[in-house]
């Protein structure tokens, strides 16, 4: 079950790590909302990794404590995707649609 959840998380990160960007004024507003959600979700993931409990190892067993966990990596990728989306969204010119 844990292995399956890792693949689901990996696919979600790949899909969301690019950020959101729009082509006209209305789409850009919603893209900013999507980018903000990515940043907030990434911050939450980093906080959950830092604050969350870690597995307890039995007595007498050498314990390995990594510098940061996988959830922190996911959070950093989401935040980076949100920031990249905001930068792309801000620097991209509006497309004029004729109707």
3-state helix, strand, coil in the chain (%, to 5): 65, 0, 35
Whether the predicted pLDDT of 79 surpasses 80: yes
User: Domain-by-domain residue ranges, the chain?
Assistant: 21-50+67-92
pLDDT (mean) for 72-76: 86
Question: What pLDDT score does 4 carry?
Answer: 62
Greater confidence, 74 or 55? Answer: 74
Whether the predicted pLDDT of 99 surpasses 80: no
Under a CB-based contact definition with an 8 Å cutoff, are residues 21 and 81 in contact?
Answer: no
CB neighbours (10 Å) of residue 71? 17
Question: What pLDDT score does 40 carry?
Answer: 92
Predicted confidence band of residue 52 (pLDDT cuts 50, 70, 90)? confident
Question: What pLDDT score does 32 carry?
Answer: 87
Under a CB-based contact definition with an 8 Å cutoff, are residues 24 and 95 in contact?
Answer: yes
């Amino acid at each position: 079950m844990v292995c399956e959840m890792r693949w689901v998380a990996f696919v979600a990160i790949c899909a969301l790590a690019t950020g959101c960007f729009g082509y006209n004024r209305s789409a850009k507003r919603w893209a900013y909302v999507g980018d903000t959600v990515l940043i907030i979700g990434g911050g939450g993931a980093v906080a959950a990794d830092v604050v969350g409990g870690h597995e307890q190892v039995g007595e007498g067993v050498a314990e390995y404590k990594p510098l940061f966990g996988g959830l922190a990596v996911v959070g950093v990728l989401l935040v980076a995707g949100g920031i990249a989306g905001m930068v792309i969204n801000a620097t991209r010119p509006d497309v004029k649609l004729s109707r």
